[in-house]
Amino acid sequence: MQRCELCGNEYDKAFTISQAGKNHVFDSFECAIQVLAPTCAHCRCRIIGHGIEDKGVFIAARTAPSPRASPAFATALAEIDAR
Ligand SMILES: [Zn+2]
pLDDT of residue 26: 98
Contact 70, 54 (CB under 8 A): yes
User: How far, in Å, is the centroid of ligand 1 from the Cα of 14?
Assistant: 9
pLDDT of residue 64: 56
pLDDT of residue 32: 97
Q: Where are the domains of the chain?
A: 2-36, 38-83
DSSP-based three-state secondary structure for 77: helix
d(CA 62, CA 73): 10
User: How far, in Å, is the centroid of ligand 1 from the Cα of 36?
Assistant: 12
User: How far, in Å, is the centroid of ligand 1 from the Cα of 50?
Assistant: 23
Contact 34, 46 (CB under 8 A): yes
What are residue 17's DSSP bridge partners? 24
pLDDT of residue 65: 57
pLDDT of residue 59: 75
Average pLDDT, 10 consecutive residues per value, the chain (83 residues): 97 96 97 93 82 77 61 68 72
